[in-house]
Chains A and B, each alone.
Chain A
């Protein structure tokens, strides 16, 4: 082994980062005493370390932030009634949309097919109207209609109770 041979670059950089184990660290430290090039590198590294991060004077931001948070909270605080109302609205909207689709399926008919001139569109529309007729017959049986309404009601109730449960859970545990 030569005395003056420098350690590998990776080991040196690990030493600069203070990540080496003790045995190797002692070796490098002994080497630094004798080698000028590595010592210079070490000094540069220390300078970088000193000047990379430094403390900056801080203005006081606590009050401003607290004010911001207060305003945010006052805007976003929602009363209990509004929460229930929200649940009610969503379920009502879903039921009404479903009912509208049901009505559409009953009423739509393509009578004025002569308006469309190209045959491709005509054929597509005819196919579509046939499909709609099938849907109509599917919905016109009364048992199905009952099932449809009932499922809507069940959905509404589930949503409602879920809303209540979530509200109280929010209060207690989190």
Chain B
């Protein structure tokens, strides 16, 4: 898998279009999950998805270690998310965005649970959100998270624990609905 990514990246540096489109289709779910997990807004996370790939392939020649393509992409996406959150907090747009995922779901119970967790996640700060989302996303271990976020591995455990605790505190009073 990783050797395949390396091949594709080195081909993409030369300008091969099919390898670029393959790279996009390999990673788009990952980036979308990340952006949606942090921003909790479908439309703006779609924008960020497009922008990350655009920036990444624009600057592909600057990437020297081809094995780190995945974490590099994640870094770009996280920075864009950070900017977006900053922009929202400046313009006060944050409370307007509501649950856009309704259209992808039919089961009402799951929808209610997700809404509750959504509200709780919105109250966390950027670092806690990113750490939680990265950790619960498949295919990331502690080492990779520390590579992406720049937090040392020693501190990462504590930060994760605290973020989880904060999320749990925000969910107090909703336990029965979650377990139903």
Contacts and interface: CB of A to CB of B under 8 A. Distances in A.
Interface of A: 9-10, 13-14, 16-17, 19, 40, 43-45, 47-49, 51-58, 61-66, 68-69, 72-73, 174
Contact of A54 (B25, B114, B161, B171): B114
B32 interface: yes
B73 interface: no
A47 B54 contact: no
Interface stretch (B1-9, B74-82, B90-98, B129-137): B129-137
B24 A17 contact: no
Contact of B164 (A16, A63, A174): A16
> What interface size band does chain B fall in?
35 or more
A65 B179 contact: no
Nearest to B112: A51
Contacts, number: 93
Interface string B17-60: 10011001100110011001100001000000110011001100
Contacts of A13: 161, 164-165
Contact of B135 (A10, A17, A64, A174): A17
Contact of B171 (A44, A57, A61): A44
B161 A10 contact: yes
Given A40-B175, A52-B121, A65 B164 contact: no
Contacts of A68: 50, 54
A51 B164 contact: no
A49 B136 contact: yes
Contacts of A47: 113, 178-179
B3 to A, nearest CB: 21
A61 B57 CA distance: 14
Contact of B161 (A14, A40, A44): A14
Interface in B126-180: 132-133, 135-137, 142, 157, 160-161, 164-165, 167-168, 171, 175, 178-179
Given A16-B164, A47-B178, A63-B21, 18 more contacts: A13-B161, A14-B161, A17-B157, A19-B157, A40-B179, A44-B168, A44-B171, A44-B179, A47-B179, A49-B136, A51-B113, A53-B137, A55-B29, A56-B32, A56-B42, A56-B104, A62-B24, A64-B50
